[in-house]
């Protein structure tokens, strides 16, 4: 065996089923041996954690909108991946939309790769997109290394990434199934949203049932108005459609940012029936409650929306019984003026919450008060997302043969969220001022320290994961 060039050891290494003392022997960026704590070869660089800190696998975040090229002023690879490193995230997967061009063609992917090159502080993978009429592009995109394909069942918020209908999916799904490619779905359909009669942006105004009621008085600065405009039924109908199509085509389907508790039984049954369906939820749905969101506080706007307290607790229960498989950020930033904080108009503000850097302490703070373990945390944030995108042989676990992507993390240290400490390009956050548990001390990417106590170490060494 080649001698390791680095040993990272801790009394509290987080393995899938235990937290135990170990020395991780690292050679060329890979974990090549897991040895007793005392086993440290001579002449080998040694990093050790203090007794309060855990050694966790690097986090994997499969739902990040980087928005570069084309809307780099919204975020960009340099700022997104620095925020990731500061949050213990060593792999992120970029969404195919909001960038211009979107990643719906191989040419679009090539432009994105060119933009990302030499900028990334962590490893970055890429989703492709399914839009009406691009079925012929899917095989080439898969061959070029996208990890799967995203579609919307409702207006995406940007016109260059149009949503699909059931008919479009009936065209794309045979090809996706032939490729054994994963389809991830923004699961809201327009019908129930139009029927609320609340004039929200980006929803089909031609629906006859909506025009009849748009004259009623709505107060766009009240959170309750926005919540009423995105009812659970929109998600429930979308999930029902995707369960039906997953069954009919034998397709691999994943529901992104799941929020409605009312469709959890449907997902539970679909999984029990053996359908290839998975689902994620996000930190904001697990932290906040609609009843507590102040009027005009558009930093809380995202789609689907943050729902009631009772809904939130049902999402937690669904994580327990594994109806929901993972928690990813849906980091979706925009310039602060697009959040319309001055007018506080929920109906017109951009929907999206930025939490790439904060996912670990947010989820830990909320999960430990509900009795979840560090193993649940590691599964939701590391191993399950890695598996979703086919990276489970290299990422998401502390295991021999895996990349030495590691986080030294103190779960009991507390900090107050201050926008100035965020490395996202834009700092507006609904988490401002919250006290969270769990401080990321150091982050290692393939054995190389990239972040240490508030400082970034070395230049961008992230790889683009397209093979
Ligand atoms: Zn998203």
What is the pLDDT at residue 199? Answer: 84
Q: pTM for the complete prediction?
A: 0.96
Q: How far is the CA of 198 from the centre of ligand 1 (A)?
A: 23
The answer to which of 204-208, 246-250, 349-353, 391-395 has the lowest mean pLDDT is: 204-208
Spatial separation of the C-alpha atoms in residues 277 and 251, rounded to whole Å? 8
What is the pLDDT at residue 200? Answer: 72
Q: Contact, 284 vs 331, CB < 8 A? A: no
Confidence of residue 217 (pLDDT cuts 50, 70, 90): confident
Average pLDDT in the 112-125 region? 98
Q: What's the burial of 51, exposed, middle or buried (CB within 10 Å: 0-12/13-18/19+)?
A: exposed
Confidence of residue 3 (pLDDT cuts 50, 70, 90): confident
Write out the two tokens for 379: 């599964």
What is the pLDDT at residue 216? Answer: 57
According to DSSP, residue 458 is labeled S
Q: How far is the CA of 400 from the centre of ligand 1 (A)?
A: 33
Spatial separation of the C-alpha atoms in residues 406 and 378, rounded to whole Å? 12
Q: How far is the CA of 285 from the centre of ligand 1 (A)?
A: 13
Write out the two tokens for 454: 């508030």
Confidence of residue 306 (pLDDT cuts 50, 70, 90): very high
Quick: pLDDT tens for 192-204.
Answer: 999 999 987 655 4
Quick: pLDDT tens for 365-377.
Answer: 999 999 999 999 9
For residue 464, pLDDT over 90 is answered with yes
Q: How far is the CA of 96 from the centre of ligand 1 (A)?
A: 10
Q: How far is the CA of 1 from the centre of ligand 1 (A)?
A: 44
Spatial separation of the C-alpha atoms in residues 81 and 103, rounded to whole Å? 19
For residue 210, pLDDT over 80 is answered with no
Neighbours of ion ligand 1 (CB under 5 A): 330
For residue 209, pLDDT over 80 is answered with no
Q: How far is the CA of 46 from the centre of ligand 1 (A)?
A: 39
The answer to which of 25-29, 100-104, 202-206 has the lowest mean pLDDT is: 202-206
Q: How far is the CA of 231 from the centre of ligand 1 (A)?
A: 18
For residue 467, pLDDT over 90 is answered with no
Q: How far is the CA of 53 from the centre of ligand 1 (A)?
A: 32
Give the residue among 65, 123, 50 at the shortest CA–CA distance from 91: 123
CATH architecture of 58-390+413-436: Alpha-Beta Barrel (3.20)
Domain layout of the chain by residue ranges:
6-48, 58-390+413-436
Average pLDDT in the 294-313 region? 97
The answer to which of 129-138, 145-154, 193-202 has the lowest mean pLDDT is: 193-202
Q: How far is the CA of 35 from the centre of ligand 1 (A)?
A: 40
Q: How far is the CA of 454 from the centre of ligand 1 (A)?
A: 27
Q: How far is the CA of 128 from the centre of ligand 1 (A)?
A: 13
Average pLDDT in the 148-172 region? 97
Q: How far is the CA of 186 from the centre of ligand 1 (A)?
A: 8
What is the pLDDT at residue 1? Answer: 61
Quick: pLDDT tens for 218-274.
Answer: 899 999 999 999 999 999 999 999 999 999 999 999 999 999 999 999 999 999 999
Q: How far is the CA of 3 from the centre of ligand 1 (A)?
A: 43
One-character DSSP codes across 11-80: EEEE-SS-EEEEEEEEETTEEEEEE-TT---TT-EEEE--TT-EEEEPEEEEEE---TTT-TTT--HHHH
Spatial separation of the C-alpha atoms in residues 403 and 378, rounded to whole Å? 16
Q: How far is the CA of 283 from the centre of ligand 1 (A)?
A: 13
Mean of pLDDT over the chain: 95
Quick: pLDDT tens for 27-81.
Answer: 999 999 999 999 999 999 999 999 999 999 999 999 999 999 999 999 999 999 9
Give the residue among 420, 439, 414, 419 at the shortest CA–CA distance from 429: 419
Spatial separation of the C-alpha atoms in residues 61 and 306, rounded to whole Å? 20
Sign of the C-alpha dihedral computed for residues 95, 406, 409 and 21 taken in this order:
positive
Average pLDDT in the 420-445 region? 96
Spatial separation of the C-alpha atoms in residues 288 and 284, rounded to whole Å? 6
Q: How far is the CA of 334 from the centre of ligand 1 (A)?
A: 12
Q: How far is the CA of 40 from the centre of ligand 1 (A)?
A: 44
């Amino acid at each position: 065996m080649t001698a390791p060039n680095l040993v990272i050891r801790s009394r509290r290494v987080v393995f899938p089923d235990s937290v135990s003392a170990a020395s991780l022997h690292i050679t060329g960026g890979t974990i090549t041996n897991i040895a007793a704590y005392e086993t440290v070869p001579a002449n080998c660089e040694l990093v050790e954690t203090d007794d309060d800190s855990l050694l966790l696998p690097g986090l994997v975040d499969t739902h990040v909108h980087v928005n570069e090229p084309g809307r780099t002023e919204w975020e960009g690879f340099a700022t997104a991946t620095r925020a990731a490193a500061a949050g213990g995230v060593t792999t992120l997967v970029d969404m195919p939309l909001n960038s211009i061009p979107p990643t719906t063609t191989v040419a679009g992917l090539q432009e994105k790769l060119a933009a990302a090159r030499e900028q990334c502080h962590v490893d970055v993978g890429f989703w492709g997109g399914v839009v009406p009429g691009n079925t012929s592009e899917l095989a080439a995109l898969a061959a070029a290394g996208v990890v799967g394909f995203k579609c919307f069942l409702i207006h995406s918020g940007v016109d260059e990434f149009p949503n699909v209908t059931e008919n479009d999916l009936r065209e794309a799904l045979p090809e996706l199934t032939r490729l054994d490619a994963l389809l991830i779905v923004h699961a809201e359909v327009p019908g129930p949203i139009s029927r609320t009669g609340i004039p929200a942006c980006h929803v089909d105004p031609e629906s006859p049932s909506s025009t009849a009621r748009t004259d009623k008085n709505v107060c766009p600065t009240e959170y309750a108005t926005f919540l009423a405009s995105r009812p659970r039924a929109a998600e429930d109908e979308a999930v029902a459609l995707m369960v039906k199509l997953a069954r009919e085509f034998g397709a691999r389907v994943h529901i992104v940012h799941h929020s409605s508790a009312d469709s959890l039984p449907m997902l539970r049954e679909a999984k029990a029936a053996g359908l290839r369906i998975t689902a994620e939820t996000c930190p904001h749905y697990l932290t906040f409650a609609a009843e507590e969101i102040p009027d005009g506080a558009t930093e809380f706007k995202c789609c689907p929306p943050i729902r009631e307290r009772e809904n939130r607790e049902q999402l937690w229960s669904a994580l327990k019984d594994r109806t929901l498989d993972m928690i990813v950020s849906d980091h979706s930033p925009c310039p602060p003026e697009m959040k319309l904080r001055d007018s506080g108009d929920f109906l017109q503000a951009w929907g999206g919450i930025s939490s790439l850097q904060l996912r670990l302490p947010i989820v830990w703070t909320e999960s430990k008060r509900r009795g979840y373990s560090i193993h649940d945390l590691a599964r939701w944030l590391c191993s399950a997302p890695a598996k979703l995108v086919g990276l489970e042989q290299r990422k998401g676990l502390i295991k021999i043969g895996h990349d030495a992507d590691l986080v030294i993390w103190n779960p009991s240290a507390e900090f107050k969220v201050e926008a100035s400490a965020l490395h996202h390009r834009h700092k507006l956050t609904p988490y401002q001022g919250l006290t969270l548990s769990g401080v990321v001390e150091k982050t290692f990417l393939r054995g190389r320290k990239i972040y240490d106590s508030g400082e970034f170490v070395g230049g961008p060494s992230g790889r683009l994961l397209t093979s």
